[in-house]
């Protein structure tokens, strides 16, 4: 078991510690670098996160599908920019049994090529559009950078990729907005703060016309990309010759978008909401929302009464759809149980002992603020329901407040560099919009770009690009990035 | 679109037709042999099937986990029998980006090696046992036999593998019985008939002490293995040196079992319940349990009334947890819709037109028997609930009746051979129990063994082995197998 670490001062080590200590993800034993094992408790969190994004995508008319993992080399190579971008990080299957394969097979790094290829058989007319597919799958990237659990994996095990096809450019632009809206609602439900940036030309998805990204900030002040939305234009549909008949009976290539999320979402839930005691889970994805810790009684009669009292509370909570668990272990103390469930981030803890039975009360503790109070029995259910709601909201507000304190503005690159070194987080500076100046800013601040806001911000009016002195057209966001 | 085929006379082609026509699985376009794409409607069926097995496993204390897809060669090779059995059908990743990998990585054909390896870190004491894990994942087998959609795939996309560890042999035997019980309940819920056989020594899982298998019969009379349960003994735990401390403080290797299901379950649901019109889905896994087809009205006023009438029915059904869909398409006739939903196997169809509104009735049609009747509005909900229950039961009974008519007994190999040629299905013959005679029976009947019943059957008492003439110890089941 790794040594306990403090959340704020030792973030990367705290993260490794909590993944192992809370039973989320075994990162240290699997004998292939960059790959780990989802453990039972972690898997349950993962399941609730995927349930949430499934619901949001289903509600907006996306169809879940499942494409093969293996993509033949000739498909991977059809879109020239795409393969250039992925060439260095594709795993290749070259042998089947004892035979050399005729055609090398890529472990999908993403599925644009496989999906567009199949769309060439499926989609013939504008009447079939929009087509909106998604799948939740493993993808593989032979990362050369240092791998990190759930953050930089060689097997990304929870890749949600959506792929849409449209009859014209405007519809694809509307789809980009819908995707952004779905992701906003997803991150909001999880209490994850974000900035939405248009990535610059030199950092867009390989094969896209443009890329919009969601970035958050980890406790160590480094920015983490947690979601991307791409307008693919007709790049892939031209490469794969996917043509449709339009209302006027002419032919045109389809217009596509794609957008993705990964294990990084789960990493972020764990990282940004955690504290020195361990996980703090948003109730919406907590496998156990309420844990009941019985306080030992002295007599059998008392024990029986405590049990009945707890049973009735549990039954009422379950009826309300609350995920509740009673920790009846007899070989550990209540104090040990408190420690254990705090580590696992259970939002609400109820403590029930003989005194509570006698007084018709329950002790209610919340994980986010660690506050504790005594509540009359007849108010327990409504108090718990209120708390589950309030904890989610409080966690979101706290996370956003913290996040905002890490987003800075500056008109000077010297200051920007200093901010990034001393305060970390994200710095936004005025920018003329030219690639040359953007890249120079990366050098001068020793940081990486995130891109620009979707609309030029008010505050850059009249400001000038700190590299070339030209008037600012927009701003550029820079950060130390994961 | 493939040509429509008859279920009984042209089974394999019917199966290909229905997968495509009902939008289940695209088998014909993906450019890698043995791999296909789960389409939206098929994916929903698959989801309901996996939900069902998840529920049964969760209820019996199994924890869902997720292990890496890639298994390094040295792990794959640790258990000698295991790699011998799988050597010829493992896909190997040998390149990452532009580099040759130092260690070849297998695409998992199954996960005993990866899981036992991790258990060597996790499990130290009998107090941690039993440990019961499962995962639902893709596995890969470089099949040299002819591939078939969902039946013999190179990417098996819905592999449910459970792996358990125990402190002694007796506990592992009890676990085998629990696994058999879970699978029985699973297949019973899906209305799938089966025989349970102990596979003979020469056809057990590579690395197992013994293998128990569930076999069903497809509409063409060929047997299909749909589930297996293995007692692994200490074969893997010795190879991976997984030792625990026992209550008496001595050390011993853990005892393991594993058991698996695959896409073949979904293939079987489709195959055995289908008919010439297409799918017939058991209500428990029907994405749409009730489809409502509005019968067009002549006036706007009538149309509005039909809509309100339907809305109220739908609302009541949804409250009862029924998955209901109203087909409001205006560009196709009700007759076309009937055809379409019959093809997709929706268990119950409601037809509602102006006359029904006037008479306060609904026409109710069931997919399994194609019966149709008119029901008063105030009995519709209870009638539908009754039907969903009755259809599941009726389908199960019908399937078992059909299945039993394909299971034969014979004391003569000549007759057995004739039965297998003319009537197909499974033939059970008396057997002395010796491998030599079993293999000879395979030759003489031109069939493959399924194995023996778990207990020697009554009817072989006094009978003799048709090969060697010795007294029968049990029976042997033979079939043309997929």
User: Residue A342 sits in a domain of what CATH number?
Assistant: 3.40.50.800
Q: Do B385 and B413 belong together in one domain?
A: no
Both tokens of residue A313? 């509370």
Whether A95 sits inside 8 A of B95 (CB atoms) is no
CB within 8 Å of chain B, chain A residues 95-124: 95-99, 103-105, 107, 114, 117-118, 121-122
The answer on pLDDT for A465 being more than 60 is: yes
Q: Identify the pLDDT of residue B325.
A: 98
d(CA B236, CA B79): 6
Q: What is the pLDDT of residue A1?
A: 56
Question: What is the interface size between A and B, counted as CB pairs within 8 Å?
Answer: 146
> HSE-up of B370 (CA within 13 Å, CB side)?
10
Neighbours of B356 (CB within 10 A): 22
Q: Report the gap between the CA of A102 and the closest CA in chain B (Å).
A: 11
Residues B174 and B69 in one domain: yes
Residue B125 inside a domain? The answer is: yes
> How far does B40 lie from chain A, in Å, by closest CA?
5
Identify the band that residue B372 occupies on the pLDDT scale cut at 50, 70 and 90.
Answer: very high
pLDDT score, position B1: 56
Helices (H), A60-166: 73-76, 80-86, 112-122
B87 touches chain A (CB under 8 A): yes
Cβ atoms of B344 and B288 closer than 8 Å: yes
- Does residue A228 share a domain with residue A85? yes
Judged by a CB distance cut-off of 8 A, whether residue B67 touches chain A is yes
Best B32, B99, B162 residue to mutate vs chain A (most A CBs within 10 Å): B32
Mutate to test the interface with B, among A2, A34, A96 (most CBs of B within 10 A): A96
In a domain, B279, yes or no: no
Give the strand order in the sheet containing A91-96: A70-72, A99-107, A91-96, B91-96, B99-107, B70-72
B384 lies in the same domain as B423: no
User: What pLDDT digit, counting tens, does each position of B386-396 carry?
Assistant: 999 999 999 99
Question: Any idea what the CATH number is for the domain that residue A124 is in?
Answer: 3.30.930.10
Task: Point out the domain boundary residue: B355, B389, B423.
Answer: B389
Q: What DSSP designation does B202 have?
A: G
- Range B340-350 average pLDDT: 98
Classify residue B31: in a domain, yes or no. yes
Indicate left, alpha or beta for B249 from its phi (over 0: left) and psi (-120 to 50: alpha): left
H-assigned helices in B190-299? 235-239, 264-273
Contact A40 B63 (CB under 8 A): yes
* A80-104 residue pLDDT tens: 999 999 999 999 999 999 999 999 9
Same domain, B64 and B127: yes
**What's the CA gap between A25 and A15, in Å, rounded?**
11
pLDDT in the model for residue A4: 83
Looking at B337, B361, B389, which one is the last position of a domain?
B389
Q: Confirm whether A285 is domain-assigned.
A: no
Assess whether pLDDT exceeds 70 at residue B2: no
Phi first, then psi, for residue A263 (nearest 5°) are -50, -20
**Can you give the pLDDT at residue A5?**
84
Please state, in angstroms and rounded to a whole number, the distance separating the CA atoms of residues B374 and B356. 9
User: Tell me, what's the pLDDT at B214?
Assistant: 98
* Contact A142/B at CB under 8 A: yes
- Cβ density class B157-168: b for 16+ within 10 Å, e for less: bbbbbbbbbbbe
**B259 and B335 within one domain:** no
Q: Is residue B298 part of a domain?
A: yes
Compute the distance between CA of residue B363 and CA of residue B380 in angstroms, rounded to an integer: 9
Beta bridge pairs of residue B221: none
CA distance A30 to A9: 28
The confidence score (pLDDT) of residue B3 equals 75
- Retrieve residue A43's tokens: 């898997």
User: In this prediction, what percent of chain B has a pLDDT beyond 70?
Assistant: 100
Mean pLDDT of A458-478: 97
Which pLDDT belongs to residue B4? 83
Contacting residues of B for A90, CB less than 8 Å apart: 96-97
Chain B interface includes A325 (CB < 8 A): no
In a domain? residue B278: no
User: What is the CB-side half-sphere exposure of residue A331 using CA atoms within 13 A?
Assistant: 1
> Could you tell me the residue range of the domain that residue B444 belongs to?
408-479
Same domain, B447 and B312: no
Inspect the interface and report whether the beta carbons of B44 and A26 lie closer than 8 Å. no
Determine, yes or no, domain membership for A5.
no
Residue B228 bridge partners (DSSP)? B213, B260
Percent of chain A with pLDDT over 90: 97
Q: Do B98 and A88 touch (CB under 8 A)?
A: yes
Same domain, A110 and A169: yes
Best mutation target among A34, A93, A155 (most B Cβ atoms within 10 Å) is A93
Tell me how many degrees the CA angle A259-A46-A8 measures, rounded to the nearest 5: 95
Q: Which of A65, A93, A97 sits opposite B43 (nearest CB)?
A: A65
Burial class (CB within 10 angstroms; exposed 0-12, middle 13-18, buried 19+) of A200: buried
Is B66–A43 a contact, with Cβ atoms under 8 angstroms apart? yes
- Both A190 and A323 in a single domain? no
Q: Identify whether B280 is part of a domain.
A: no
How many structural domains is chain B composed of? 3
Q: Per residue in A58-79, pLDDT tens?
A: 999 999 999 999 999 999 999 9
Return the structure tokens found at B60. 């019996």
Q: Residue A249, CB half-sphere, CA atoms under 13 Å: how many?
A: 0
Write the burial class of residue B301 (CB in 10 Å: 0-12 exposed, 13-18 middle, 19+ buried): exposed
- Contact between B142 and A90 using a beta-carbon 8 Å cutoff: no
User: What is the distance, to the nearest Å, from the Cα of residue A327 to the centroid of all Cα atoms in its chain?
Assistant: 30
Tokens of B110: 């199954």
pLDDT, tens digit (0-9, with 9 covering 90-100), for B165-221: 999 999 999 999 999 999 999 999 999 999 999 999 999 999 999 999 999 999 999
Q: Same domain, yes or no, for A91 and A167?
A: yes
Chain A interface mutation, best of B57, B93, B114, B120, highest count of A Cβ atoms under 10 Å: B93
CA-closest candidate to residue B120, choices A332, A15, A37: A37
CA dihedral in degrees (B17, B23, B28, B34; nearest 10)?
A: -100
Calculate the CA dihedral of residues B78, B82, B87, B91 and round it to 10 degrees.
Answer: -80
By C-alpha distance, which of A271, A264, A270 is closest to A286?
Answer: A270
Strand pairing partners for B348?
B290, B366
Rounded average pLDDT over A139-153: 96
- Could you identify the residue written with the tokens 């480094």? A222
Same domain, A44 and A83: yes
Chain B residues within 8 A of A144 when measuring between CB atoms: 97
Residues B169 and B212 in one domain: yes
**Contact predicate B217/B425, CB 8 Å:** yes
Average pLDDT, chain A: 97
Summarize pLDDT for A96-134 with one digit per residue, the tens. Answer: 999 999 999 999 999 999 999 999 999 999 999 999 999
Encoded tokens for A199: 């990535």
């Amino acid at each position: 078991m790794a040594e306990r670490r403090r959340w704020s001062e030792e973030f990367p080590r705290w993260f490794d510690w909590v993944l192992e200590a809370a039973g989320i993800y075994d990162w240290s034993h699997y004998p292939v670098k960059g790959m780990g094992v989802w453990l039972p408790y972690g898997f349950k969190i993962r399941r609730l996160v995927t349930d949430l994004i499934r619901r949001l995508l289903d509600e907006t008319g996306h169809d879940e599908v499942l494409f093969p993992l293996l993509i033949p080399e000739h498909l991977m190579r059809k879109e020239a920019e795409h393969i250039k971008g992925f060439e260095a990080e594709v795993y290749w299957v070259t042998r089947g049994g004892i035979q050399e394969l005729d055609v090398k097979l890529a472990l999908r790094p993403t599925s644009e090529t496989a999906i567009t290829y199949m769309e060439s058989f499926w989609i013939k007319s504008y009447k079939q559009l929009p087509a909106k597919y998604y799948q939740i799958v493993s993808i593989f990237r032979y990362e050369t950078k240092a791998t990190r659990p759930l953050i930089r994996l060689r097997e990304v095990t929870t890749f949600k990729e959506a792929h849409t096809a449209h009859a014209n450019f405007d519809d694809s632009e509307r789809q980009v907005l819908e995707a952004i809206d779905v992701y906003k609602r997803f991150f909001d439900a999880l209490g994850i703060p974000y900035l939405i940036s248009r990535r610059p030309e030199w950092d867009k998805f390989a094969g896209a016309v443009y890329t919009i990204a969601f970035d958050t900030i980890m406790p160590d002040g480094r920015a983490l990309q947690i979601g991307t939305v791409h307008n693919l234009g007709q790049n892939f549909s031209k490469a794969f010759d996917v043509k449709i008949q339009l209302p006027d009976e002419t032919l045109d290539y389809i217009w596509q978008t794609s957008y993705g999320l990964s294990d990084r979402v789960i990493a972020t839930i764990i990282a940004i909401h955690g504290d020195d005691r361990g996980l703090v889970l948003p109730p919406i994805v907590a496998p156990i929302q309420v844990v009941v810790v019985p306080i030992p009684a002295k007599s059998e009669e008392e024990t029986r009464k405590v049990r009945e009292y707890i049973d009735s509370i549990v039954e009422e909570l379950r009826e309300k759809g609350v995920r509740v668990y009673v920790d009846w272990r007899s070989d550990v103390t209540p104090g040990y149980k408190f420690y254990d469930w705090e580590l696992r981030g259970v939002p609400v803890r109820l403590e029930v002992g003989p005194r509570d039975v006698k007084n018709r009360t329950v002790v209610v503790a919340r994980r986010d603020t660690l506050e504790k109070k005594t509540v009359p029995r007849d108010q327990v259910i409504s108090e718990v329901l209120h708390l589950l709601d309030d904890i989610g909201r409080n966690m979101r507000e706290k996370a956003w407040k913290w996040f905002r304190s890490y987003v800075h503005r500056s008109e000077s690159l010297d200051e920007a560099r200093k901010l990034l070194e001393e305060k970390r987080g994200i710095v936004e500076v005025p920018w003329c919009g030219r690639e040359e100046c953007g890249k120079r800013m990366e050098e001068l601040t020793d940081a990486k770009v995130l891109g620009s806001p979707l609309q030029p911000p008010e505050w850059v009016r009249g400001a000038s690009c700190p590299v070339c002195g030209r008037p600012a057209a927009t701003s550029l966001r820079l950060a130390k990035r994961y």
